[in-house]
Amino acid sequence: MITVIAGGVGAARMLRALLQVVDASEVTAIVNVGDDLILHGLHISPDLDTVTYTLADAINPDTGWGLVNESWQSRTMLEQYGGVSWFGLGDRDLGTHLYRTQRLHEGADLATVTAEITAAWNLGLTVLPATCDSLRTIVTLATDDAAGSNTPILAAGTEISFQEYFVQRHHSVPISNVRFEGAEDSMPAPGVLDAIESANLIVIAPSNPLVSIAPVLAVPGIRDALVRRRNNVIAVSPIIAGAALKGPADRMLAELGHDASVLGVAALYNEFAGTLVIDAADDSLKSAVESFGLNCIVTETIMSKPGVSESLARTVLSGATT
C-alpha cells in the first residue's frame, strides 16, 4: 500500500505517475482541504477536484484545474449581475460543487462525498480529505493591497482567505503569515491515520510545503503519525533550482523566512521524512540536504518532460530508507 500526502496540481501529476507503475487499488491519497471555500452557497474543494479530474483524464490541460471541454455561461451571467466572478467556476465543474453541497447538507461527511465523486469517475484509488472538519488556510498581507480598482484597499496585517490570495490577487502580494483556521479542533478523516500507519511507503508529493502539505500536517495526529513512519516517508521537492514549477511556493518560502531552495524544503520536512528527492538541477546541494539527516536522491523530477514521470515514480517507489 502506498499513501500520498497531496495538494493540487503537483500532487495530481505525482499520483498519475505512480499509477503508471502500481495498481490504483494499492494507492491512497490524503488531500489538502485548506484551499476549500464556500462560494455562491457551494462547498468547493479545489485540491480534491484537481486530483480527481487529473486522474480521470478530465482536467483542463491549459489551466491544470477545472474540467476539460468546459463552458462558462453561468460565469457570464454572474458578471452580468455584478456577482462574484473572480473565482472561475465552469458550467460542468459547477455540477461537482452542486452535488457535494447537496450531499453535505443531507448529512454525509466530506470523506463519503469524495468517495462517491471518485467512484463516479471510476477512479480505482482511495481519495481522502485530510479532515472532514472545516480547516481553512488564512494568509496575512505584508503590505497594503487592493485586489483591483473596484475593491477596497486592505491594510498590511489584514487576513484574507487562501483563494482571495491565490486567485483574486494572483498570489502576487507579499504575505507575512499563514495559519490554518479550525485545525486545532479538526480530526483526521476516517481512514487517514490507518492509511499512514499501514502503508509500505508514504510519499509527500511535490506540492507547496507551506499551504498544501502544512495544512494536512496541521490536523492533529497526522504529523505525529508521519514522524513514527519517518523511515518510510519519501518527499519530492517542489522547488527546483530555487524556483517552484508552478505557483508561489518559492516566494512564500522566502517571505516567511525559509530558504527558497531544496534546503528550505529539507529543513521543513526532515522531522517526518527520511528521504528527499531533489531534481538533477540541484545536484550540488545533495550533501547539504544530507546534513539535515535526510537520505537524498537526485533525479529528473520535471514530470512534463517525456519519460520522467514513470522513472520518477519508480525512483520514489524504491527510494525509502529502511
Question: Least Å distance between CB 321 and ligand FO1?
Answer: 29
140 to 179: interface string for ligand FO1, x by CB under 6 A: -----------------------x--xx------------
By beta-carbon proximity to ligand FO1, the closer residue of 22 and 37 is: 37
Coil, helix or strand for 151? Answer: coil
DSSP 135: -
Residue 89 interacting with ligand FO1 (CB under 6 A):
yes
Whether 222 contacts 184, CB under 8 Å = no
Residue 70 interacting with ligand FO1 (CB under 6 A):
no
Nearest residue by C-beta to ligand FO1?
8
40 to 69: interface string for ligand FO1, x by CB under 6 A: ----x-xx-xx--------------xx---
Whether 70 contacts 93, CB under 8 Å = yes
Question: Least Å distance between CB 35 and ligand FO1?
Answer: 4
Binders of ligand FO1: how many residues, by CB under 6 A? 17
Which amino acid, 149? S
The separation between CA 75 and the C-alpha centre of its own chain, rounded to angstroms, equals: 25
Give DSSP secondary structure letters for 82-128: T---SS---HHHHHHHHHHHHHHHTT--HHHHHHHHHHHTT--SEEE
4 to 43: interface string for ligand FO1, x by CB under 6 A: ---xx--------------------------x--------
Q: Who's near 282: CB < 8 A, 6+ residues apart?
A: 237, 240, 241, 261, 262, 298
Residue numbers at the binding site for ligand FO1 (CB under 6 A): 7-8, 35, 44, 46-47, 49-50, 65-66, 87-89, 93, 163, 166-167
